[in-house]
Amino acid sequence: MTTISPVRPSPIAGTWYEGNPRTLSQVVDGYLDKAEIPGLTGEVIAVISPHAGHKYSGPVAGYAFATVRNQKFDLVAVLSPMHQPYYDSLLTTAHEAYATPLGNVPVDKDSTSDLDTRLRKTLGEGLVPVAYDQEHSLEIELPFLQRALASEFKLLPVMVRSQSARVSQELGEALAETLRGRNALLVASTDLSHFYTQKQAVAFDTEMLRRVEAFSPEEVFSAEEEKAGFACGLGALTAVLWAAKGLGGDTVKVLRHATSGDVTGDYSSVVGYGAAVILKQKPA
Helices (H), 78-179: 109-122, 142-148, 165-179
What is the predicted pLDDT for the residue at 7? 98
**Please, are residues 125 and 116 in contact by the beta-carbon 8 Å criterion?**
no
What is the predicted pLDDT for the residue at 2? 73
Give which of 105, 242, 113 is closest to 169, Cα–Cα.
242
Number of Cβ atoms within 10 Å of the Cβ of 232? 21
- Please count the CA atoms within 13 angstroms of the CA of 216 that sit on its side-chain side: 12
Task: Give residues with Cβ within 8 angstroms of 22, minimum separation 6.
Answer: none
Please state the domain extents for the chain. 44-280
List, for residues 208-236, the tens digit of each pLDDT value: 999 999 999 999 999 999 999 999 999 99
Judged against a pLDDT cut of 90, whether residue 142 lies above it is answered with yes
What is the predicted pLDDT for the residue at 283? 59
CATH 3.40.830.10 fits 44-280, yes or no: yes
What DSSP element (H or E) covers 278? Answer: strand 270-280
∠ CA 220-54-271, rounded to 5° = 45
Return the DSSP state at 280. E
Mean pLDDT of the chain: 96
